[in-house]
Amino acid sequence: MDDIVKAAMAKWPNVPDCFGWLGLDARGNWYMRDDRVQAAGAFPASKGSLLQHEKLIEFIQRNYAADAQGRWFFQNGPQRVFVDLENTPWVWRLQPDGRVFTHTGIEVQTQDSLLDESGRLYLVTDMGPGLVHSADMVLAADWVDGGRWTPTVVEHAVMSKRFGFVRQPR
């Protein structure tokens, strides 16, 4: 976490948590969800505004973490802004040289691969579970065909329970 965030947390330790205002889609994009968007429905059916400000996205990604209950959040100064997840807390980006990165830019080591009933490919890594980005599926298919990964079948509905993350914290 950023030092400025740690300092704000120490200065204001009792700021209430924020729910429903930030979403992460299945492609690793962040969405701001104001009152109107929240009233229109749950994420991702009602996504909100796609964040495009590079520095804001970098700040969110540096301060992205999970609590003991598996609820993912962005630590915004002294306040935790809990994240609604379209799918998993991580979206993996595959590199032609064989490396795998989080949507936040951190390199990970894969431990297992899973395939759900809709054909979505998930990787379990040293940072936890995540969905392979849809733009990387051709490369992923090559890696599966080449024997790098042998996905086992998993039901999408049990992913969050199996791996201990909460898609819509409240």
Please name which of 17, 33, 159 lies closest in space to residue 84, comparing C-alpha atoms: 33
Please name which of 68, 71, 54, 73 lies closest in space to residue 5, comparing C-alpha atoms: 73
Helix (H, G, I), strand (E, B), or coil: what is residue 102?
Answer: coil
Question: pTM of this prediction?
Answer: 0.91
DSSP letter for each residue of 5-60: HHHHHHH-TTPPPEEEEEEE-TTS-EEE--HHHHHH-STTTS--EEP--HHHHHHH
**Model pLDDT for residues 92-140, shown as the tens digit of each residue:** 999 999 999 999 999 999 999 999 999 999 999 999 999 999 999 999 9
Which of the residue ranges 32-36, 75-79, 143-147 would you say has the lowest mean pLDDT?
Answer: 75-79
Distance from C-alpha of 154 to C-alpha of 70, rounded to nearest angstrom: 20
Which CATH architecture fits 3-85?
Roll (3.10)
Distance from C-alpha of 25 to C-alpha of 144, rounded to nearest angstrom: 24
Q: Any idea where the domains of the chain sit in the sequence?
A: 3-85, 90-156
